[in-house]
Amino acid sequence: MSLSVRVAHNEDISSLRQLIDQVVAFHYQEAPTQFKDPAAVLSGAYLEERLADPQAIVLVAECNRAQVGVAVALIREAPPILTPNRVVLVENLAVEPRFRRTGVGRQLMDAAILWAQAQGITELDLNVYEFNTDAIRFYEALGFKTVSRRMRLSVEPYSPEARPDGNFQSEKA
């Protein structure tokens, strides 16, 4: 297997879009209230935007000239409540299913790490959903650690009829 990783170009968007769409479809299947229907996602426009962003990189993995993986990363400043710091956010990683567990994802992440280092950045962040256990195991095997937890509570939509006086104090108080 002849595998290489390079920086993506605009002419790669069509095939890379298909890889991103696979990730979108998986997330939509697992959490349809949080993720858009894949048919509604403009992944081509997303990739064009990242390719044009000087603070981002789109990496493509190729095996025998076929594009089998993509990673999207961008530089972010830490929020003002944190110690001033720049991090690389790995925004997307997608590998063609038949090429998973072959080193494609690792090579894409290695390239993202090298890019971060070339920018003078020593930390990479990413978000991964709890239902994506394969991805969690993959990132942990690379040395990523959980540093925060995002939580969600779903509530009923607001109804002005329920609070005609505009009082938002809980009735439980």
Q: What pLDDT is recorded for position 146?
A: 95
Pairwise pLDDT comparison (8 vs 34), residue with the higher score: 8
Given a contact cutoff of 8 angstroms between Cβ atoms, the answer to whether 102 and 125 are in contact is no
**Average pLDDT score over the chain:** 91
DSSP letter for 125, please. E
Pairwise pLDDT comparison (108 vs 173), residue with the higher score: 108
Q: What pLDDT is recorded for position 34?
A: 86
Percent of the chain whose pLDDT exceeds 90: 71
pLDDT band at residue 54 under the 50/70/90 scheme: very high
Q: What pLDDT is recorded for position 79?
A: 84
Amino acid symbol at 6 = R
Pairwise pLDDT comparison (19 vs 170), residue with the higher score: 19
Q: What pLDDT is recorded for position 173?
A: 55
Pairwise pLDDT comparison (104 vs 40), residue with the higher score: 104
Q: How big is the CA angle at 131 (ends 130 and 133), to the nearest 5 degrees?
A: 85
pLDDT tens-digit readout, 64-81: 989 999 999 999 998 888
Q: Alpha-carbon distance 43 to 49, whole Å?
A: 10
| CA 104 to chain centroid | 16
Section 17-42 average pLDDT: 90
Per DSSP bridges, beta strands 86-95 and 66-77 are antiparallel
Where do the domains of the chain lie, and which CATH numbers do they carry? Answer: 3-162 (3.40.630.30)
